[in-house]
Structures are given as structure tokens and as C-alpha cells.
Amino acid sequence: MNYFPDEVLEHVFDFITSHKDRNSVSLVCKSWYKIERCSRQRVFIGNCYSISPERLIARFPGLKSLTLKGKPHFADFNLVPHDWGGFVYPWIKALAKSRIGLEELRLKRMVVSDESLELLSKSFVNFKSLVLVSCEGFTTDGLAAIAANCRFLRELDLQENEVDDHRGHWLSCFPESCTSLISLNFACLRGEVNLGALERLVSRSPNLKSLRLNRAVPLDTLQKLLMRAPQLVDLGIGSYVHDPFSEVYNKLKIAIQRCKSIRSLSGFLEVAPHCMSAIYPIFGNLTFLNLSYAPGLHGNKLMKLIQHCRKLQRLWILDCIGDKGLGVVALTCKELQELRVFPSDPFGAGNAAVTEEGLVLVSAGCPKLNSLLYFCQQMTNAALITVAKNCPNFIRFRLCILDPIKPDPVTNQPLDEGFGAIVQSCKGLKRLSLSGLLTDQVFLYIGMYAEQLEMLSIAFAADSDKGMLYVLNGCKKLRKLEIRDCPFGDAALLEDVGKYETMRSLWMSSCEVTLGGCKSVAEKMPSLNVEIIDECEQMEFNLDDKQKVDKMYLYRTLVGHRKDAPEYVLIL
Amino acid sequence: MVFEKDLNLDATELRLGLPGSSEESIRISNKRALPDMNDDSGVAAAKKCDQETAPPTKAQVVGWPPIRSYRKNSLQTKKTEAETGGMYVKVSMDGAPYLRKIDLKVYKGYPELFKAMEDMFKFKVGKYSEREGYNGSEFVPTYEDKDGDWMLVGDVPWEMFINACKRLRIVRGSEARGLGCVV
């Protein structure tokens, strides 16, 4: 039923860039499927075990950019053993053997070995971009291979990875001929870097737009780098400590004044608050500010800084900003869309410096707010109801009360009504994380109102299976559900196993599901992998169906059981 | 859980931290949490905790609060560094050809400090009395405080001393007598 030649359709498809839309296009008919798959350049795989590299290669011969996610989200919080899986090596090996001209690789929560980085660096002539988020398993030797061998490298972006740092030599591995860098982010490296090599690299990278330094880069080097790269748009400062009366500091002031394009600022991994005045000229133009690794900035100095940030759209901050500081944000940052408040002292004596008051202030002052991550001391229903009224546009709402089962401190009630107000008001809500004292009631509300919800994180909540059932029955667009420490058992798990095929994954840990229940799911749904993670190896000796399962992770897949699971993972 | 405000638990707290070190305060709130009063183990003031962990009565749940390991490790590194940053001050002795530097944070109190100074400069500190200062020695330990005044070492509590002390000077002989006599 094609009224157009293939080339025309292909040209039209070029304008369709979102993964969802391209996936939809491929389902229309066989010829659209064929044209789409041959012209597709960017592929996103949310669970690396849902498909195999061979099938990926077979379907998309024109692949240039691959995004892969490995471990389940709760792995970020140490709930998944390190060697559970998510190895990127088999992917790189398969791609290297094929004729795919890979140019970009973006990985999240995957195990990346030096060997895989080296293979990557040698196998794809046009490789341009490597982005690693929350990954592990590699050292600076792997980075050296990327630097040395990727002749046209444009982007090396390392975000919050645990890297074994063998010290500075990797930066020197960028050859003199490498002048193509656009983005370099090594803020998460803990070791020394060769400062001279860094300066030379920046000097010969005229297209450098994004530079995020690690702690080992001192202020005087920063000054030299900024002099050489006044075109920067995104800057991450490493160490920011110096004598404010020194020559170097004056030079820094001059360098900063030349940087008229900086819109995004982060870092301050080490900071002397009395040196901040040199940077003030930048703050007025910032759209993104990340001070969440700078506990040295707090109190009045921090508030004074925020007052300059009139154009801010995204703010990541530590809770030492306090409710008062959030009040300043509310007055100043009228364009704010995203706010993340991280705990500065997560295991301290329970003194998160922000409460419901700060959130209410921001919701009142920043009507464009649509994305929230908020670690706080306490929350009230009244506050949540007010926030829901002030900000009906939330897409992401993640609340973390440091005491996970804390009720509303004013009324001593659970927070059901508050979260209920959020889901009822925010019709576009896609992601929700709950905390505080919660009963089955909040899940009734979620099932009823959260029609667009795609991801839900639950911890220490609910009274019975009903809670989970409300969600599974109500949230039609649910893709990821992760639950810990809730009284949900087999009855909830087994009510509608077909639902799990419409989702990416389900995680349940420290709940009431039994081995028998999990086996039942696996039997009924061969298209799911049902994994039991049993680190204590209780299951090995006692395969009693009535045994409660400590950690269960199930996900849909087209390629059956994975072969790389460690011994303590039982795939049913 | 009930939180009480403004209760200074520092005074009775047992810690395994470095002597004289105090937790770097990055909180601007004064609220402090009491251990859970309903806890059966009855732990009250005696808390054996290192710098980062919560009092044991507030059981640390694995994976809570939900922050990335990388971020958690960063915070801990920073706290440790803040607390072990060292408090180096210059030490001079009258007649000695060059000065030395010592880290005040390393010592638990005056006796250890004096022992270290005695070893370093080969002298003996006299016996301290509140009334008369140091008796029995030609040498008297003094320090310059934040106001620029030269004070006798030993009059104030150790914590107060190490926070006030900018440099140390071991004063000798007749000069010493002026400081040594407390009227």
C-alpha cells in the first residue's frame, strides 16, 4: 500500500526521531518495517537482557548510536550484587565482528571492563561518543585506550562511575592530532591528572563546549583552561580554593568575564566560599546549576549566590540550603523546571535541613516546576496538597523522607491524602517515588488517577496485597515497578501475570512473595525471565516453594534465559 | 519518632573519632535527634559510632536513603577529609635556629602535646598550676591566639585551645617569669 517510493518514505522517517515514534512506525506494515529498520541509526535498549546483540545487528544494519541499560535501578542503592550482570563486553564483541559503524555508545548501570573499552576503541573507525553513567569495572587504563585510539572522538562523558584510578597518564594519551573534542567530563575520577596534558588538550580543541573537571584540577589550572576555552557552554569546576587576593585569582576573574556562553555550571568539589565573587558574572546566565557535590557552600554565601540565578531552569543542590534557602530560590528562579535536593548528611543524626516548608515555598514561587527529587526530614499532607495545587505540571515527583515510615508530623496520619492529591492534580505524571507512612489507600488513588504513570518506586508501604493490585489494575502505562519491604505476596503477584509482558520489569525485594509464586509466574509466562537473587544461597539447599524470596527481578525478553548469571541467581 | 530540639549530646557522647576532632557542621539547623526511646536495647547516651554512621538505635537499612553509591562515597570522603585535615601550627623556641610545625589534631590533650614538644626541642616543661603557671623549668609554653595575644598554654580546655591557637612559642628564662606568674 505504498504510494511513495521507498526513498521518500525514508526521508519522511528522518524527521521522526523519538524512539517511541519510530517503534510505532515500524509496526504499521511490512514495508514500513523494512524501510524503518534500514534507516534507523539510533537504538535505545532499556534492558540489555531483553534482546541479544546478534538480533540487534540483524535488524538495524545502519546502527550508529546505541544506548544500553543494565542493572535494575535499585542496584544504585546496593541492593544488587556487583557481579549480577549487565556486562557490555558481549555487545561490543558482537558489534566489532559485524559491519556496524558504531559511532556512539551510551551505557547506564553496566559492567564495563578495560578489555571492552580497548576493543571498542580499536573496532570502530568513526567512533565519536562514549557516555558512561553509574557504571563500574573499568580503570583509567581503559580510558587511555579510548583516548589513544579514537581518532575522531568528540565526547567522553563519565557520570558518577566508580573508576579505579591509576593516576594521570590517560589524558596524555590523546594524540596531538586529536582536535575534535566537544565534550570532556571526568569529574568522577578521584586521582591526579596530568595538568600540562589537560591544558594542551583544551588548547587544541576549538570545538570544546563542555568541560567537567575533577577534584585534582586546582584553581590556577582552571584559570588557564578558561583562558583557552572562552567558548565553553558547560563547565564543571574541580577544586575552587585559593587566596582571593592573589594574582591567580585576579586572572581567574578576567578569564571568567570572557566566558560569555556558560549556561551550565557544576562541581565545586572543593570550595573556598570567599572566592565565589569571581564567578558571580556567570550566574545570571545559568540555566543549569549543580551544587550537589559542594557541601562547602551553604548558609548566606549560598543564598547570595542563588540570588543571581534568575534564568535557572534546573537546580541540583544539597539540603544544607535549608528551607530558608529554598525560599530564596522561590523568589529568584521563576523559570525553574527541575529541582533536586540531595541529603548532605544521609546517615547523620537525622537532621536533613529541609522540610515540607521549603517545598511549599518553591511550589508557590516556581509555577513551571515539573520535575522533583526531594530528600527531606518530614512531609505533611497539607503541604503535598498545596504543592499539587500550585504545580499541576509534574512529570517526575520523587519524594524521599529520610525516615521511610514517618507519618505526617502534624496530624500523625499516613501521607495517603497528600500523594493522592499529587496524582490527581498532575495528570501528566510519568514517574513517582513514594515514602513516609503509607497505607493501601494511596495505591487506590494511584491506580485511579495516575493514568500516564510509567515508573513507580515503593518502599516500606502498604498494608496488604490490595495495594499492589490497585496499581497493576489501574496504571495502564506502567513500565517499571520497583518495590521493597512491602507486604505484597503471591496473590498480588499472580493476579495478572499477562500485565508483566506489557512492562519492562518488576523488582520485588523483602516482600512476601514465595518461591512457589515466582515459579508460577515463570511457568505461565515463558516470555519473562524470572530471576531470584539469593546471595545467602538459602535456596540451594532448601527449594521449598513456601520459602519467601528475598529478591526477585522479572523482565520481558525475546531471548530467553541469559547465560551469564552468577551462581546465586536462579532463573526460573 | 519524636525529635527533641537543642539537646547537646556532644558532651556525653563516646566517639571513636580522632582526639579533639569535632564533626564538621554542615547543617544550619539546630535540631538534633534523640535515639528512639522505644528501643528495647535501652541505648541512651553511650553511642559508639564512627564519623559517618548513625547512632545504632536508628538501624541503618540497606539501600536507604536511596542515593547512588558514588554520591554516598563522595560524601564520606569529604567528611573524613574535613575531619582529618590537620591543624598545623608553627612552634618556635627561643634560641633554636629554626621553627617546627606540629599538627594539633593529633594530640588528645596537653600532656601529649608537651611530650611531643619536649621531644622535639629537648627541654622540659615545668609543673603546671593554675595559680603559678609553670614551676620548675626555665621553659614555658605559650601560644598566640586569634586576637594576637600571647597566652599561657594550659589555662583553657583543650578543645578551646586548639581552635584558638595560631602558633606556639616556647619562651625561656626571665621572659617566662612574667607569664608564669598569675596574679
A514 in a domain, yes or no? yes
A323 in a domain, yes or no? no
Single pTM value for the model: 0.79
Residues 75-104 of B with CB under 8 A from A: 75, 77-78
Look at the domain B88-172 and name its fold: Ubiquitin-like (UB roll) (3.10.20)
Q: Residue B182, SS3? A: coil
- Mean pLDDT computed over A381-391: 97
Position A115 pLDDT exceeds 90: yes
Q: Residue B132, SS3? A: coil
Name B50's Cβ contacts closer than 8 Å, sequence gap at least 6. B15, B16, B17
- CA-wise closest residue to A89 among A62, A56, A112, A59: A112
pLDDT of residue A252: 92
pLDDT tens profile B118-176: 888 888 888 888 777 787 788 888 898 877 788 888 888 887 888 788 889 888 765 55
> Measured between beta carbons, which residues in chain B are less than 8 angstroms from residue A353?
27-29
Position B42 pLDDT exceeds 60: no
> Measured between beta carbons, which residues in chain A are less than 8 angstroms from residue B62?
77-79
User: A41, A63 in Cβ contact below 8 A?
Assistant: yes
Position A531 pLDDT exceeds 90: yes
> Measured between beta carbons, which residues in chain B are less than 8 angstroms from residue A294?
none
What number of residues does chain A have? 572
Residues 338-367 of A with CB under 8 A from B: 342-351, 353
Position A514 pLDDT exceeds 50: yes
- Structural domain tally of chain A? 2
Domain edges within chain B: 88-172
Residue burial A126-157, b: 16+ Cβ < 10 Å; e: rest:
ebbbbbbbbbbbbbbbbbbbbbbbbeebbbbb
Q: Is B5 on the interface with A (CB under 8 A)?
A: no
CA angle A550, A555, A559 (to 5 degrees): 125
pLDDT tens profile A361-373: 999 999 999 999 9
pLDDT tens profile A312-341: 999 999 999 999 999 999 999 999 999 999
Q: Is A459 on the interface with B (CB under 8 A)?
A: yes
More confident of the two residues B73 and A486: A486
Q: Are strands A42-45 and A234-240 parallel, antiparallel or unpaired?
A: unpaired
A1 in a domain, yes or no? yes
In single-letter form, the type of residue at position A320 comes to C
* Containing structural domain, residue A561: 502-571
A513 in a domain, yes or no? yes
DSSP single-letter state for residue A275: G
- Quick one: pLDDT band at residue A6, thresholds 50, 70, 90? confident
Position B50 pLDDT exceeds 80: no
Q: Residue A416, SS3? A: helix
A532 in a domain, yes or no? yes
Position B38 pLDDT exceeds 50: no
- Mean pLDDT computed over B58-85: 76
Rounded Cα–Cα distance for residues A121 and A131 (Å): 13
pLDDT tens profile A14-69: 899 899 899 999 999 998 999 899 899 999 999 999 999 999 999 999 999 999 99
Position B49 pLDDT exceeds 60: no
> Measured between beta carbons, which residues in chain A are less than 8 angstroms from residue B67?
77, 342-343, 346, 375
A416 in a domain, yes or no? no
Q: Residue B155, SS3? A: coil
Report CA B151 to chain centroid distance, whole Å.
Answer: 18
Q: What are phi and psi of A168, to 5 degrees?
A: -50, -5
Q: Can you read off the three cell numbers belonging to residue A190?
A: 578521584
pLDDT tens profile A417-455: 999 999 999 999 999 999 999 999 999 999 999 999 999
Q: Which of B60, B70, B78 sits opposite A188 (nearest CB)?
A: B70
A284 in a domain, yes or no? no
User: B170, B123 in Cβ contact below 8 A?
Assistant: yes
What is the CB neighbour count within 10 angstroms for residue A186?
A: 26
A139 in a domain, yes or no? no
More confident of the two residues B24 and A1: A1
Q: What are phi and psi of A132, to 5 degrees?
A: -120, 120
CB contact under 8 A, A350 and B33: yes
Q: Can you read off the three cell numbers belonging to residue A419?
A: 500523594
CB contact under 8 A, B65 and A346: yes
Rounded Cα–Cα distance for residues A507 and A488 (Å): 12
Helix A30-39 to helix A6-14 angle (10° resolution) is 60
Position B47 pLDDT exceeds 50: no
